A and B are shown apart, each in its own frame.
Chain A
Amino acid sequence: MRRPLHAFIAALTVCLTVAGGASPQAPEHRFAPGSPPISVRPSALAQIVSELAGSPVNVQRARILWVIDPHAMVIESDSAFDPTWRDRGRVLVVLERSRSLAIPRPPVSIAPVNIVGIARTLLGIQAAQDVPWPQALTRREIDRLGVRAAILASSIKTSDGVELTSSTAVPSTAAPSTTTTAP
């Protein structure tokens, strides 16, 4: 009689442990290492960043709204309509420490570009401090621009495959490069 009771308690304990412990860890195991990045548009990423944060993403058909500094910019979904300062669904793109932007200045066009990186939350980017937070991006600007998500980007390319970043040994916070061409 005791043995089935012990077995039942043990099984119940295991079930509760699994059920209770599985949910916080779920995001970490949702995507296996090496899995292809999830293709998503900037506006969609801004809406579902809580679900995609931590996952590799390939953000497609984006347009560059604001180059904040050589390591950060704000993007939005490309559209037939002109960009405006106040809008919704923007994404902050922060480059990995070893890279910096190489966008011609001024660019003849701001779209389309594709970004590959890891989807992050704004708070995660700021708190982790693995990359410097762009100083010009204040809370007021975040509110006005409607920035809702971030990407720790490893690559920014045009649709024809031209890389818009270059590798740098020491990241600097100087003014953006003016006529740097893609490698």
Chain B
Amino acid sequence: MRRHHRLRTLLLLSVVLSGIPRTAAAQWDPFDPPRDPAHLDVSGTAGLRLSTDWSDLILLGSVSPATGALEQVLGRDLVFLPGPVFDATVMYWEGRYGFRSHVGFSRKCLAIAGRCVAIPTLDGPTRGSVTVDGYSADVGGAFGLREYHRNPWVWPYVFFGFGAVTYDIKQSISPPLQMFIEHSPSATADITVNKNFTNFGQTLLISIDELGLETKFAMNFGVGTDLRVPLGAAGVGLRLELSDTMHNSPLNIQIAELNTLTDEVVRANGGLVHNLRASAGLVLHFGR
């Protein structure tokens, strides 16, 4: 709780400090006013990424006085465990307004409960841990947190955008429908389940996407700053960025009743997946 308060205080302080009016109007030369100085920067950064779960452990079950609890595993608590993330960004600025295009890459594995292990599927466990390449590409806008003057030493900004995240899963992951809790695995399990798991005599249709090459629409926002060494028409600097890329879970599980008048479909998906990124790297800027 205290950490939250400190973070909030620091955030508030930084916003207030960046918004303090300065008596720098004397720097403004009305005979030669700075007119949206255009500049371009190219950066390459590396950093860390943290992704949230694609899904929780999803069970379809029933409780019977005769047989006890019987729960079938529809989905495991999958998560992309990313390795180091590498990014390349090109930004074009006019004054404090910028256009940003960005690509990123990270490789590691698909994990269950945070561990890179073999994943149980309908066809049996995978061959060791499943390697995943994560690509992201997005475009968007950026906004400088202070008024742009030529050749600034510090250039803080916020950015936002939209794009796509693609996960190249090196082994096909089918749903783990053969997994049961409290009972031995069924030999006749299939993607379409026609068994009466509940006591109400309902027949369920279960649809689970096999994971392979998954692409999701994504939105992102973040904050960054350049610590620059202006060398005239061009310069170099250090870029620091924090961002979050959000997209829907690649795991798509739908459960519906057959022979029902109400056309209801339950989507037992993991919801929104966040990909938090912290990176640092080199930035080259051109123009004043």
Alpha-carbon gap, A67 to B29, bound state (A): 9
Alpha-carbon gap, A176 to B29, bound state (A): 13
Alpha-carbon gap, A81 to B28, bound state (A): 12
Among B24, B31, B96, max chain A CB count under 10 A is at B31
Flag if B33 contacts A86 (CB, 8 Å).
no
Quick one: given A84-B95, A85-B95, are A66 and B30 in contact (CB under 8 Å)? yes
> Shortest CB–CB separation between residue A158 and chain B, in angstroms?
14
Alpha-carbon gap, A74 to B34, bound state (A): 14
Alpha-carbon gap, A83 to B30, bound state (A): 10
Flag if B30 contacts A67 (CB, 8 Å).
yes
Q: Nearest A residue to B148 by beta-carbon distance? A: A84
Q: B5 an interface residue at 8 Å Cβ cutoff?
A: no
Quick one: given A85-B33, A85-B34, are A63 and B26 in contact (CB under 8 Å)? no
Total interface residues on A, using CB and 8 Å? Answer: 24
Q: B35 an interface residue at 8 Å Cβ cutoff?
A: yes
Q: A40 an interface residue at 8 Å Cβ cutoff?
A: no
Tell me the residues in window 70-125 of chain B with beta carbons closer than 8 Å to chain A beta carbons: 95-97
Alpha-carbon gap, A84 to B37, bound state (A): 11
Alpha-carbon gap, A81 to B22, bound state (A): 7
Total interface residues on B, using CB and 8 Å? Answer: 17
Q: B190 an interface residue at 8 Å Cβ cutoff?
A: no
Q: Which residues of B contact A91 (CB under 8 A)?
A: none
Q: Which residues of B contact A176 (CB under 8 A)?
A: 31
Tell me the residues in window 96-139 of chain A with beta carbons closer than 8 Å to chain B beta carbons: 103, 105-111
Q: Which residues of A contact B182 (CB under 8 A)?
A: none
Alpha-carbon gap, A108 to B147, bound state (A): 20
Chain B facing A: main interface SS: loop
Flag if A105 contacts B31 (CB, 8 Å).
yes
Tell me the residues in window 12-67 of chain A with beta carbons closer than 8 Å to chain B beta carbons: 63-67
Q: A160 an interface residue at 8 Å Cβ cutoff?
A: no
Q: Which residues of B contact A66 (CB under 8 A)?
A: 30, 33
Flag if B30 contacts A144 (CB, 8 Å).
no
Flag if A110 contacts B21 (CB, 8 Å).
no
Alpha-carbon gap, A67 to B30, bound state (A): 5
Flag if A82 contacts B24 (CB, 8 Å).
yes
Tell me the residues in window 22-59 of chain B with beta carbons closer than 8 Å to chain A beta carbons: 22, 24-26, 28-31, 33-36
Q: Which residues of A contact B31 (CB under 8 A)?
A: 67, 105-106, 176
Q: Which residues of B contact A81 (CB under 8 A)?
A: 21
Alpha-carbon gap, A106 to B27, bound state (A): 10
Flag if B28 contacts A83 (CB, 8 Å).
yes
Q: Which residues of B contact A103 (CB under 8 A)?
A: 30
Alpha-carbon gap, A63 to B36, bound state (A): 19
Alpha-carbon gap, A81 to B26, bound state (A): 12
Alpha-carbon gap, A138 to B33, bound state (A): 16
Tell me the residues in window 183-205 of chain B with beta carbons closer than 8 Å to chain A beta carbons: none
15 contacts between A and B (CB under 8 A): A65-B28, A65-B33, A67-B31, A79-B21, A81-B21, A83-B25, A84-B95, A84-B96, A85-B33, A86-B36, A86-B97, A107-B30, A108-B26, A110-B28, A144-B35
Using A66-B33, A82-B22, A83-B25 as known contacts, list a sample of 10 further A-B pairs with CB atoms less than 8 Å apart, ordered by residue number in A. A65-B30, A80-B21, A82-B28, A83-B28, A83-B33, A84-B96, A86-B95, A108-B26, A109-B25, A109-B26
Closest 9 CB pairs of A and B: A80-B21, A64-B30, A81-B21, A67-B30, A85-B35, A66-B33, A82-B147, A106-B29, A67-B31
